[in-house]
Structure 1
């Protein structure tokens, strides 16, 4: 009995020791896991990203990009730029170049737009000459943006253009070179090529804007509406692309109205006023259904009748330029409808790669009504071919113009531009540092809403797409020739159509 009494306390003591050791082991493991969790949180700014801990190697695998919400200061304090945003980032495909995607073909136009400076480079004197019509100078030095403003633009074009560039800096921190650029937010290009030809001429001033034409040297850049058009309540492009796709799904092409639809402001250009003569009347039906957009009335009615995603209801949609190129082109092309494109004089950064009869149907500028009627009659007779044209354009927009590629276009354009600079960019004395907080935190209404919606929340986990090479001269000439021949073929079909009708009368 005494022996049992002696053994039992020893057993109990041993069990207590084992329990203590197990508790300490569990606590030790918990501390290690917690420390790993803390390390992972450093990558995520204020929001912890999804993390997987590999049991074999204890390796952290980041499954989605870190997020850095805006840090808006309240209580009337001066808003400052954040200090915790990464100055650089490493992407998961940085070492494996085979996994990078190739940029869409329209990126090749970057080389063409910058060709005027290939031989000479861009001097500070050239940049200063671009100040004549510029709305602002943007400076990027060591990944930070600075602004020197010269005049107010139409509506908030300048604000959302600058906002877009700030989002690019957030998407690819440390990957945009030091640079200075001048930006003109007006419609028409102004740097005439003819002014800079000849042996004794200086190089043209590099001026960024939203569109160009065949007679000017302005550098084409994505327009402000990709981040939202606050004045007329058009959503940022990411959200609008989804809305347009849903709008397409609401009605099949074959079930849509078999006419050509257009809604817009006809008073900005004579060619649009001329288009209105093609509207249906008691005397004539040109297969067109045209509507005047009254933006004052729309604003009073909270833009309920101007949602572009609700306008994919006709088999054909007309695109016609206004004072210059029109923002509406991408909305029309995304509709699955056949785009009837009245002969344009201007281009934006992606439209030069669109092909007649493949992505759109060309319409004569000088005989719109007959041209529209023939296009609609041809499409209604060749339904499968017409539907394929509409689908090709919609796919081009949905896949080739998604926001990832818009940012990549900006990335490559600014990097190629930066390579041409023959001076060291400097921050002017009167320039103010800009960041997303300074712009968005003080904004209100649709402006603030769209900025918050289009905010890039953190560095991209993938590298930009790979730039295609420049066009070889013979290849570019063949491309132009093919474009012209396709348009001429449509004109021949149209002439034959009307000749046949006239003979029957």
Structure 2
């Protein structure tokens, strides 16, 4: 039973901590004391053990009246990082071990430290994603309604994870998403409140905002996924590829980010091919099939060089033609959505090339912080070929400005999307989410405990390799970055207006360009 397992882990933790104190003071009992003095020494050690245990290891948190949970660990709770071992040879039964480091729980409103840097500005969208539940809080009934399309339920109780699977996801999306959450728990042990969440690993969001509008509307179900759009209320979470995509040999983000930075240095922007490059699977969406019509031909050159990715052939040939760090050889790279958002966006933005962003419908957790002209060049969806042609001609005529756009995007990815911030985004999202709970989450009867040993030890091939490469090997001895405040109405309107005005400016430049060309051909 889950309750019995919880008691078992608590006893293990108590024994570990108590045994350390006992071994430290056991020498006292070997002193040549009189009988009465020995009893006094024994009593002293027992009292010391009990007091240390109560003050450091076993502070419970009250949930009286189903109040909002604010259980996090302050920066004072851990002094120095603690190594997290993973020995598959010694743990053949794949039992989740008791945690071997003490934690101190405090009830605080925020886990901010004056020494922690302020999080990147895109963290502000966490407040917007959770706004539908700000007034109502989150109830058990709301969470259960999110089960309809979810692949799994994840429950976190006292820093330990429990999994209930409903439907296997496509490939290993669920596997590496869960692996990433486990690494978060290892990085910041004991700092998240108890919570439960439903996660849908399918690309497109499904919680329609229109279904929860009006004075008598109910609160929407809180459903986590990788992307959202302006019509839906799904909660956006970092995608699985940050820990690796084994099916297509895309390595974990921390490693790949370094390789992309090295790849940028191989060919200077000015020496790159002066065309727009795209390589991918056009079969997944009509908009991608339309893009392929912009490819160079004997009759027309739209300044685009487009290639179809044959993943079956890549698998057979050992992924020789899909090294992302060696695809930064063009001045311009195109990002276009597939069936929904695509994980390729971060790899494209990291390339120092100017990213041509074909007008997207969807966003993921960090892209809402990007601005047109500043981080990327907007491309019309309804007139892709002409829009790409103009963008390349503009960039080749304004090389300094074009190169600056590419550098700003690459800098954003390298500095504001490094793994430290990915983990901090996950932490703050789940921490703020957990504060909204109106009930105390419990471990489902059908759930099994999840830990690194149970995931990594039985894994094989690239799946195991990527897990080991992306494993958090020690706790973080500093607090997460400091959350920025939520948008007010004026600031969010200003942000969106600035974005719209920049896109409109490009469209006006483009219109003028084609008008001038038409005049020349008269």
TM-score, normalising length: structure 1: 0.85
Alignment of 1:231-242 (within 5 A): 231-242=247-258
Q: 1:376 aligns with which of 375, 378, 392?
A: 392
**What is residue 80 of structure 1 aligned with on the other side?**
95
Give the Cα–Cα distance (whole angstroms) in 1 for the partners of residues 357 and 370 of structure 2: 11
Query: Secondary structure of the equivalent of 2:153?
Result: strand
Residue 153 (structure 2) pairs with residue 143 (structure 1): no
Residue 205 (structure 2) pairs with residue 197 (structure 1): no
Tell me if structure 1 keeps the 8 A contact 2:187–2:476: yes
**What is residue 443 of structure 2 aligned with on the other side?**
427
Tell me if structure 2 keeps the 8 A contact 1:88–1:172: no
**What is residue 304 of structure 1 aligned with on the other side?**
320
Residue 515 (structure 2) pairs with residue 503 (structure 1): no
Change (3 A) 1:73 1:403: same
Q: 2:130 aligns with which of 81, 103, 114?
A: 114
**What is residue 132 of structure 1 aligned with on the other side?**
148
Residue 183 (structure 2) pairs with residue 175 (structure 1): no
Deviation at 1:81, TM superposition (A): 1.3
CA displacement 1:161-217 (0-9 Å, x = unmatched): 000000000000010110010000000000000001112211000000000000000
Q: 2:120 aligns with which of 83, 100, 104?
A: 104
Query: Secondary structure of the equivalent of 2:228?
Result: coil
Give the Cα–Cα distance (whole angstroms) in 1 for the partners of residues 419 and 157 of structure 2: 25
**What is residue 442 of structure 1 aligned with on the other side?**
458
* Displacement over 4 Å in runs of 4+: none
Give the Cα–Cα distance (whole angstroms) in 2 for the partners of residues 403 and 132 of structure 1: 31
Tell me if structure 2 keeps the 8 A contact 1:183–1:207: yes
Query: Secondary structure of the equivalent of 1:339?
Result: strand
Gaps of 5+ in 2: 1-77
Give the Cα–Cα distance (whole angstroms) in 1 for the partners of residues 210 and 99 of structure 2: 49
Change (3 A) 1:95 1:266: closer
**What is residue 52 of structure 1 aligned with on the other side?**
none
Alignment of 1:329-368 (within 5 A): 329-368=345-384
Residue 424 (structure 2) pairs with residue 408 (structure 1): yes
**What is residue 7 of structure 1 aligned with on the other side?**
none
Give the Cα–Cα distance (whole angstroms) in 2 for the partners of residues 169 and 240 of structure 1: 23
Residue 269 (structure 2) pairs with residue 253 (structure 1): yes
Deviation at 1:317, TM superposition (A): 0.1
Which sits farther off after the overlay, 382-391 or 198-207? Answer: 198-207
Deviation at 1:466, TM superposition (A): 0.1
CA displacement 1:273-330 (0-9 Å, x = unmatched): 0000000000000000000000000000110100111100000000000000000000
**What is residue 211 of structure 1 aligned with on the other side?**
227
CA displacement 1:110-169 (0-9 Å, x = unmatched): 000000000101110000000000000000001100000000101000000000000000
Change (3 A) 1:95 1:125: closer
Q: 1:327 aligns with which of 320, 336, 343?
A: 343
Give the Cα–Cα distance (whole angstroms) in 1 for the partners of residues 285 and 89 of structure 2: 45
Deviation at 1:83, TM superposition (A): 2.2
Gaps of 5+ in 1: 1-61
Give the Cα–Cα distance (whole angstroms) in 2 for the partners of residues 181 and 452 of structure 1: 26
Deviation at 1:84, TM superposition (A): 4.5
**What is residue 153 of structure 1 aligned with on the other side?**
169
Give the Cα–Cα distance (whole angstroms) in 2 for the partners of residues 495 and 199 of structure 1: 44
Give the Cα–Cα distance (whole angstroms) in 2 for the partners of residues 96 and 222 of structure 1: 22
Tell me if structure 2 keeps the 8 A contact 1:89–1:172: no
Query: Across the two proteins, how many residue pairs are aligned to each other?
Result: 440
Give the Cα–Cα distance (whole angstroms) in 2 for the partners of residues 89 and 381 of structure 1: 60
Which sits farther off after the overlay, 95-104 or 454-463? Answer: 95-104
**What is residue 63 of structure 2 aligned with on the other side?**
none
Query: Secondary structure of the equivalent of 2:378?
Result: strand
Alignment of 1:444-459 (within 5 A): 444-459=460-475
Change (3 A) 1:467 1:63: closer
Give the Cα–Cα distance (whole angstroms) in 2 for the partners of residues 64 and 491 of structure 1: 54
Give the Cα–Cα distance (whole angstroms) in 2 for the partners of residues 416 and 68 of structure 1: 26
Tell me if structure 2 keeps the 8 A contact 1:71–1:82: no
Tell me if structure 2 keeps the 8 A contact 1:140–1:179: yes
Give the Cα–Cα distance (whole angstroms) in 2 for the partners of residues 465 and 362 of structure 1: 31
Tell me if structure 2 keeps the 8 A contact 1:341–1:360: yes
Tell me if structure 1 keeps the 8 A contact 2:153–2:163: yes
Deviation at 1:87, TM superposition (A): 4.8
Tell me if structure 1 keeps the 8 A contact 2:112–2:479: no
Tell me if structure 1 keeps the 8 A contact 2:111–2:479: no
**What is residue 501 of structure 2 aligned with on the other side?**
485
Give the Cα–Cα distance (whole angstroms) in 2 for the partners of residues 485 and 494 of structure 1: 14
* Structure possessing the higher radius of gyration over alpha carbons: 1
Give the Cα–Cα distance (whole angstroms) in 2 for the partners of residues 149 and 474 of structure 1: 42
Two-structure CA RMSD over aligned residues (Å): 1.6
